[in-house]
A and B are shown apart, each in its own frame.
Chain A
Amino acid sequence: MLGSILFNYAFGSILSSMQKSSHIKHKMTLFSGILANLLVLGYYKYTNFFIDNINALTGSSIHLDTIILPLAISFFTFQQIAYLVDAYQGKTHEYNFLHYCLFVTFFPQLIAGPIVHHREMLSQFKENSIYQFCQSNFSIGITILIIGLFKKVVIADGVSVYVSPVFDAASDGTLISFADAWTASLAYTFQLYFDFSGYSDMAIGIARLFGIHLPLNFNSPYKSINIIEFWRRWHMTLSRFLRDYLYFPLGGNRHGMIRRYINLILVMIIGGFWHGAGWSFILWGALHGFYLILNHFWHVIQGRIGFDADTQWFWTRCFSVLATFIAVIIAWVFFRATDFSSATEILKGMAGLNGYPLSSFYLEKLEPLVKSSFVQIFYWKLTPSQLIISSLTPLFLIIWFAPNTQQILSNFKPTTDTDNNQIEEQSFIVWQPTLFYALITAAIGAWAILSLGGVTEFLYFQF
């Protein structure tokens, strides 16, 4: 990381000072800087993936020991590529080296984002106020941190128990029923959102303890009425990066419809590959690229006939939200599955091709969960289906009807203002530093802290 910082800071300074040099030379310098970053990322993150594929294609048996991935390399590489591009375009200022180091290594967002931009961070590091303790920032920061922790350890980790048994069974070739497949894929859809947005909230909260504002990263994405909107609400800082530093340089929508669609699918495939070194991620990206093309095409048709189904009526809007949600779930199946065939097994199950009730292997896995669930403790006869319904239903209510963290704290500017940061809806819950909110925050904080650890259980087959 230190090498990367030194290299990029030096390269950024060179690029800034080359504004008057020849265009080709300037561009080649930028190109070599980006290439160096991508090569490092490629070596650490993708070498084994490429070797496995070469072995599979050629029948060779090249073996390489596992390469340990440097912490947060995916994030700091993108952040610094953005810095180099902006330096090339003359958009950077003479930054203090220590501030630059802090920008790259700022620990709250280092591991799981948001992907911050040098402009929004380095300007804040100049402010003297961030080096002084501020009770207001601390109150807001700790509240966001607790909400994020709750999302991660209570909701995301809590729902994850429904996911693995089915996806593992699918990779073993077991037939997956309709109920198995929908439970696992829905649970994974929730797990991913609460996990990722929980991490983002924690990052935003921790940064705020120090008076630093981070950009908004999740804005209730499952409320989206189409896939275009979904990508404006899901991992917003990644979308921003891909748009500004990949989609626009590729030509964006400036070279006709076909070229635009090619750009879209290319950007989404690269975005997918960034998430992980595997074909399933590439497939997931390609699928979202395909969704986006369909969505843009549909907008063209709607524009021609003068009808907007997404917003025309309440029911068409509901239908749009549901259709988008289902499309996203299907894509997540590819994201989670270990290989294409197990993803297909899950999709077959979702289509009802393997029967409907919960399978015996899944029931066996659910039994201990039923026994130890709070509902079971106070209500004698809880069935596995009831457990699933009682666990997942509240999450539907949260993703579709509850305000998000930023809306709850909207009076206190929880995140930086970016062009993505459009919190249009007014929340029916508005946080204030009151006794009531202290009690609520403490309750969910205690719940989250209690969920951090646990006593290892031995799952014994009992009757």
Chain B
Amino acid sequence: MKNTGYLHYLSYFLISGLLAVGLLNYLADPFSIFQSQRISGFNEKKVDFVKYLRLTKARLITLRKPDALIIGSSRTGYGLSPNHPGFSGYNTFNLGLADVSMTEAVQYLQHAHNFKALKKVVFALDFRLFYKNNQNSTISKLRLANNGTTNTEYWQAWLNDYFSALFSYDSLKASLRMIRYQKWETNNLLENGMWLRQRIGFDHYQAFRRYNINTIKRTDIPPINNLLSKRAAETLHQYRVFVRYCYQHQIKLYLLFSPSHAWHWETLRDIGAWPAFQYFKQQLTLINEQEAKQFNQRAFPFWDFSGYNHYSTEPAPLLPDSHYYSKWFWETIHYHKQLGDLMLDRIFGLNANNANDYPFGVHLTNTNLASHEAQQTQDHYDYQATHPDDIRIIQKLIKQANHEKKTISRF
């Protein structure tokens, strides 16, 4: 064969190979950006979707153009449904992003508003939003239209995303992994952005322990006298930007602090993070009211679902038990959709009967903060007195986490 033939065949094989990979990635669409048909057993379940959510949700917003959003972390992803009656009449999208940062929340809010004027937003706040560093805020920065869609950086970022999603080894692996794991995968991402998880086979006993240990390992709280550190000040500023944006653009905002299992609150107290948590709560309420005053509007409702109540004190799995059934929580942090529905009922003022049965959530204002805090402290003592076995396990887990923290060093 002459060199001409070699070059022809080389080009032919190379281009064919790349196109074949591109076609497979397009059909499988592991990042849900091409809106390819979901086929059972092939690409119905978006395996590993959590890893690519920042790309996926940025794209889904450009496609669905929602006018109502639910923003928050993975808790929001699992717990708050866009199909809740409180959103009827709205095109609602669940923008739950794993380990979301405050800066990202602002960026995605502006991104969505750029495509369609938002009317209603539920922002589920987590303590972690305010003390962790902002490392994720650059992941999607360029592909978000918070500076409009006319800048070249925006289109370059999307071109890069499309190209990488079609013609990259990572995408090929993601597609193959997704196809291969269809049978076993228990999680999925719905078109409305909500995360779906199957209850069957879920090991609550292990999950309660691992998530509690994880909370301890990841909770890097600055000392209370250093709360106005640069990091905390920056996240509070970003929160102010978020709230101000909603006042400015006539977006009806509902703020809430997410619920967690009592184990989580006990742990925060034991590791000394509770004062910081209270401090942030106070600041967030204050900022909301300050901004309302600035724009001469009524303050956005701020609901606090944290602390101890009928739901968060649901018995935890103290022993391995395959028949254990948790009605409200997956583990210490993530709540079920049923509890999410109750929260949305509460903030939208629906199904008042449920709320009467068991008190859940407090409408926070600057005036009731102190009494609410006092009540939560009393609830904490009550829980300690009535749940000695739980407290013993929590203390054991704290010891274990601190030991793991030492061996893992600063990773």
Contact = CB atoms under 8 A, between A and B. Distances in A.
B358 interface: no
> Would you call the interface of chain A mostly helix, strand, loop, or mixed?
helix
Interface in B156-194: 160-161, 163-165, 167-174, 176-177, 180
Contact of B411 (A364, A445, A454): A364
A435 B164 contact: no
Contacts of B12: 442
B206 interface: yes
B369 interface: no
Nearest to B11: A442
- Main SS of chain B's interface residues? helix
Which of B5, B14, B31 has most A Cβ within 10 Å? B14
B14 A445 contact: yes
B53 interface: yes
Contacts of B200: none
Contacts of A365: 411
Contacts of A165: 411
Contacts, number: 143
Interface stretch (A48-56, A72-80, A370-378, A401-409): A370-378
Interface residues of A, number: 48
A361 B407 contact: yes
Contacts of A135: 2-4, 7
Contacts of B111: none
Interface string A330-369: 0000000000000000000000000000011100110000
B411 A435 contact: no
B270 interface: no
Contacts of A364: 408, 411
Contact of A450 (B2, B9, B167, B206): B167
Given A139-B3, A372-B173, A453-B163, A458 B210 contact: no
B54 interface: yes
A462 to B, nearest CB: 7
Interface in A442-463: 442-443, 445-447, 449-463
Interface string B1-26: 11111110110111001100100000
A167 to B, nearest CB: 13
A439 B177 CA distance: 26
A447 B164 contact: no
Given A458-B51, A458-B139, A449 B167 contact: yes
B117 interface: no
Interface of B: 1-7, 9-10, 12-14, 17-18, 21, 31, 48, 50-55, 74, 98-99, 136, 139, 160-161, 163-165, 167-174, 176-177, 180, 206-207, 210-211, 214, 218, 404, 407-411
Contacts of B98: 458, 460
A461 B214 contact: yes
Nearest to B16: A442
Given A452-B168, A455-B55, A460-B50, 6 more contacts: A372-B174, A446-B14, A454-B169, A454-B170, A455-B161, A460-B98
Nearest to A462: B50
Given A377-B176, A453-B164, A458 B214 contact: no
B168 A454 contact: yes
A359 B404 CA distance: 11
Contacts of A463: 206-207, 210-211, 214
Contacts of A389: none
30 contacts: A135-B3, A364-B408, A371-B48, A371-B177, A433-B2, A433-B5, A434-B6, A435-B9, A437-B6, A438-B9, A438-B10, A438-B13, A441-B10, A442-B14, A445-B14, A447-B169, A450-B167, A450-B168, A450-B172, A452-B168, A454-B168, A455-B55, A456-B54, A457-B52, A458-B98, A459-B51, A460-B50, A460-B99, A461-B214, A463-B206
A172 interface: yes
B168 A451 contact: yes
A450 B175 CA distance: 14
A366 B79 CA distance: 30
Contacts of B6: 139, 433-435, 437-438
Interface in A413-444: 433-435, 437-439, 441-443
A450 B21 contact: yes
A462 B3 CA distance: 52
A287 to B, nearest CB: 28
A442 B53 CA distance: 33
A453 B31 CA distance: 15
Contact of A442 (B17, B99, B410): B17
A365 B48 CA distance: 17
Nearest to A173: B409
A169 B3 contact: no
Contacts of B53: 458
B132 to A, nearest CB: 12
Interface of A: 135-136, 138-139, 142, 165, 169, 172-174, 359-361, 364-365, 371-374, 377-378, 433-435, 437-439, 441-443, 445-447, 449-463
A164 to B, nearest CB: 11
B50 A458 contact: yes
A203 B18 CA distance: 24
B170 to A, nearest CB: 4
Nearest to A445: B14
B45 to A, nearest CB: 15
Nearest to A363: B408
Contacts of B180: 377-378
Nearest to B331: A463
B131 to A, nearest CB: 16
A400 to B, nearest CB: 26
Query: When A and B form their complex, which 10 residue pairs have the shortest distance between CB atoms, in order from nearest?
Result: A442-B13, A433-B6, A438-B9, A446-B17, A454-B170, A135-B3, A174-B409, A442-B14, A450-B169, A139-B3
Contacts of B163: 453
Contacts of B2: 135, 433
A372 B47 CA distance: 11
A142 B13 CA distance: 14
A460 B136 CA distance: 11
B348 to A, nearest CB: 30
A450 B177 contact: no
Nearest to A138: B7
A446 B10 CA distance: 10
A445 B407 CA distance: 42
Given A360-B408, A451-B169, A458-B51, A443 B161 contact: no
A438 B17 CA distance: 12
Contacts of B50: 458, 460, 462
A429 to B, nearest CB: 16
